[in-house]
Amino acid sequence: MPSYAGEIVYSIVTHSRACTILAPYEHTIKLSATQALRLDVANYYKTIIVYYNLAYNTMLHNKLKDSANYIGIMLTLLLKAKAYSEDVGLRLLSILDELDWSSVRIYDDSPEKLISYWLSYKPNSLEDLAYTYASIALSLLEKLPCDSFIRILHTPPLREVYIISLALIVITSAYFVVKRVGVEGGGVEYEGYR
**How do residues 61-108 score in pLDDT, each as one tens digit?**
889 999 999 999 999 999 999 988 888 998 999 999 999 998 899 999
DSSP state of 24: G
Higher pLDDT, residue 157 or 117: 117
Instruction: Give start and end residues of each alpha helix (H) in the chain.
Output: 4-14, 19-22, 26-36, 44-60, 64-80, 86-98, 111-120, 126-142, 148-153, 156-184
Asked if 6 contacts 36 with a C-beta cutoff of 8 angstroms, the reply is: no
Question: What is the pTM (predicted TM-score) of this model?
Answer: 0.78
Q: Which of 101, 133, 141 is nearest to 117 (CA)?
A: 133
Break the chain into its structural domains and give their ranges. Answer: 4-147, 155-184
